[in-house]
Amino acid sequence: MGAAVGKAAPAKARLAIAENTILQFQCNRGTWDAAASCTNERLLDAVDEILDLAEAQPFPAASAAAARLDSALRAAMSLMMDEFMCLRVWNASSHDLRLAVDRLAVGASANALWQHTFPSTGDRSSSASTVGRASAGSPSSAPGDLVGFLDGEFLDELQLLCPASLLVLHEIAHRVIRAGYTKELVQKFTNSPCDVLDRFLSIFHGECSRRTTEDVIKRWSLATHLVGKALVVMQRQLYTHNSPGAFDALKDEYFLAITKNRILNLLKFADDFTSITSHEKLIYILGMYEALSEAAPGLLTMFTGPHKELVAERSEEILAKLAMSIRSMVASLIAKVRDDVSNTKNIVCVGVHPLTKYAVLCIERLAPHRDTLDLILASCGDGVASLSDLASRVVGSLEEKPVLPCDDDATAAATGSRHHLFHANNANFVLQSCKPLLGDGWAAARESVVERHVAGYAEACWAPVVACLEPAGRKPAAKVVAKFSAAFDRAYESQARCEVRDPALRDALRRAVSEKVVSAYGVYLKTHPKLEKKLRYTAGELGERLSELFEGEAAEHNK
C-alpha cells in the first residue's frame, strides 16, 4: 500500500485508504494503457489490500465495516473487469492487416474478386477462349497483389496477439480468481472486444443497406473465409505464448466466448439469404455455400461440448437451406432458358444462336463450382443430378426449335438442310466450349449429336442432287449429267452464303457432302466414259467447289 500505512496498521485505516484509491481510479480510469505497456501499481496494491482484508475477515460479520469491505471488494472486481474490457488483447492496427482488409473490401465491391458473375438475361456474349481461365470467387480471378490476401497466408506472418496483454490478463485473472469472481469474469468474455475478427467482419457488416445483394454476399463469403483462417492463427498464438499465469485456466473459455457469438452472427447472416431463388444469384449463393462448407470444419475445432454441437447443427441447417435454394435456382435457370426459347421468333439463321451463347456462358461460369454443384444436385429427383445434366438440359432446349428457310425457299430440302446446319453449328459450339469443363464422357454424347446433324445435313440438302444420277427409265446419260449439274448448281447457290466458323466442323461438313456427291458422281462417270467431253464439271471440279462452302460472306468476296 505504501510507506504511510503498512500491514500492521488498523484494518479500518487500511480499508479506508484502499477504498479511496479505488474511488480515484473509478473517476479517472487507466490501470493499463491500450497496449498494456504501462501498469499502475498503486491500484493493484489497493486491490490486493482489499483481498487481504477480505481473506482475514477482521470485522464482525454484521458490522458496518464488514459491509464496507464487501462493497469495496465488489467495486475492486468491477474495476478489474472494466479494465479487462478496455484491454486490447488482439492487434488489428498493424499496417499490413489494415491494408489487406481495405483492399479486399474495395476489391469485393468492384468485382475484382468475382470477375465472372452469373449472366443476366441480356448478357449473352461468350467465348470458348475464356473457358476455365477464371473462376468466380477464386484467387485466380483476383488482381495479383490480392492473391496472398485471399489465401490468408499473410495472417501467418502477423502478430495478431498483443504479447503484453497476456501479462495483464494474468494479473486480472489472479485477483478475480482469488476473490471468487471467476464466473462474473467468464460472463464478461462474451462481450469482450476482438479487433482482429471485428476488422474482418467489417468487410460485409458496414452500410449493408447501401449495397446490392450480390455485393453483400460476396463480402460475407470473403469474411467467412478469412475469419476461419484468422481463428487458426489466433488460437495458435494465444496458446503457444510463453507467459504462464492465472489466465491459463481461463483461456479455453475466453477463446470460445470471443469466437462463438461472432460465428453465430456469421451463420445468422447467411440464413437471411437462404430464401433467394432467382437464378441470377446462383453464382453468389454457390460461393456462400462453398465458403461456409470450407470454413465449417475448422470453425468446429474451436468449440467443445454443447457449444460445438450448437455450431455444428446451425452450420448443417444453413448449408441444407442454401442447397435447397441452389436447387430452386437451377430449376429457375432451366425454366428461364426454355421460356426464352419458346418466346424466340422463328429461327432463320444457321449460325450460333444468342441463346446458345447464353446457355454456354451459364455453364462456363458454373464450371468452377462443379464439385459443389454435383454434390448438391446428386439428390435432385428431376433428372438433373450434376452440372453435366444441367448443361445437357439447358443447351438442349433449342434442339426442338424449328428452323425456317430463308429467301422464300420452303422446299423440304431447304428446310431440312438449314435445320441440320443450324443444329450442327450450335451443338458444335457447345461441344467445343464445354468439353474442357465437363470432360470426355459428356463430350462423347455431344459429339454424336454433331455427327448426326452433319450426316442429316448432307442427306437433306445433297441427297436430292445425287438422286438425279438414278433416273427412272432409260434416259440418255448426257441428260442425266445435265440434270445433275443443274441440281448441283441450285444446291450450291442455296448454301453458298451459309457460314460455319469452326474449321473442324466446316471440314467435317465438306467431307460429308463430298463423300455423298463427288463419290456418286465419280462412279457414274466411270460407267459412262464417253461423257468426258460433254461434262460441265469433272469430279475434281465438284470437289473444289464444295471446298468453298460454309465461308459465309467471305465466299462472295473471293469470287
What does pLDDT average to over the chain?
83
Q: How confident is the model at residue 217 (pLDDT cuts 50, 70, 90)?
A: confident
Range in 66-70, 323-327, 470-474, 477-481 the model is least confident about? 470-474
Looking at the structure, tell me whether residues 79 and 177 fall in a common domain: no
Looking at the structure, tell me whether residues 187 and 106 fall in a common domain: yes
Task: State the Cα–Cα distance between residues 15 and 30, nearest whole angstrom.
Answer: 21
Q: What is the mean pLDDT of residues 345-360?
A: 83
Domain total in the chain = 2
Contact 369, 283 (CB under 8 A): yes
Which of 281, 316, 331 is the endpoint of a domain?
A: 331
Looking at the structure, tell me whether residues 49 and 183 fall in a common domain: no
Looking at the structure, tell me whether residues 165 and 76 fall in a common domain: no
Which of 86, 109, 137 is the endpoint of a domain?
A: 86
Looking at the structure, tell me whether residues 65 and 100 fall in a common domain: no
Q: Give the residue with greater pLDDT, 101 vs 463.
A: 463
Q: How confident is the model at residue 174 (pLDDT cuts 50, 70, 90)?
A: very high
Q: How confident is the model at residue 556 (pLDDT cuts 50, 70, 90)?
A: low
Chain center to CA of 212? 16
pLDDT on residue 20: 92
Asked, for residue 57, whether it belongs to a domain, the answer is yes
Asked, for residue 358, whether it belongs to a domain, the answer is no
Asked, for residue 548, whether it belongs to a domain, the answer is no
Asked, for residue 174, whether it belongs to a domain, the answer is yes
Contact 377, 385 (CB under 8 A): yes
pLDDT on residue 344: 79
Asked if the model's pLDDT at residue 23 lies above 60, the reply is yes
Asked, for residue 68, whether it belongs to a domain, the answer is yes
Looking at the structure, tell me whether residues 286 and 247 fall in a common domain: yes
- The DSSP secondary structure of 179-234, one letter per residue, reads HT-HHHHHHHHTT---HHHHHHHHHHHTTGGGS-HHHHHHHHHHHHHHHHHHHHHH
Asked, for residue 507, whether it belongs to a domain, the answer is no
pLDDT on residue 177: 97
Q: How confident is the model at residue 11 (pLDDT cuts 50, 70, 90)?
A: very high
Asked, for residue 33, whether it belongs to a domain, the answer is yes
Looking at the structure, tell me whether residues 207 and 304 fall in a common domain: yes
> What are the tens digits of pLDDT across the range 142-162?
434 445 555 666 788 888 998
Asked, for residue 293, whether it belongs to a domain, the answer is yes
Q: How confident is the model at residue 343 (pLDDT cuts 50, 70, 90)?
A: confident
Looking at the structure, tell me whether residues 110 and 59 fall in a common domain: no
CA distance to 89, 120, 189, 233, 264, per residue, from 260 (Å): 17, 38, 11, 16, 6
pLDDT on residue 270: 92
Q: What is the mean pLDDT of residues 353-362?
A: 90
Q: How confident is the model at residue 118 (pLDDT cuts 50, 70, 90)?
A: low
Residues shown for the chain: 559
Looking at the structure, tell me whether residues 65 and 179 fall in a common domain: no
Asked if the model's pLDDT at residue 366 lies above 50, the reply is yes
Q: How confident is the model at residue 132 (pLDDT cuts 50, 70, 90)?
A: very low
> What are the tens digits of pLDDT across the range 188-201?
999 999 989 998 88
Domain range spanning residue 163?
95-119+153-331
pLDDT on residue 407: 52
Q: What is the mean pLDDT of residues 290-308?
A: 91
Looking at the structure, tell me whether residues 42 and 108 fall in a common domain: no
Phi then psi for 428, rounded to 5 degrees? Answer: -70, -40
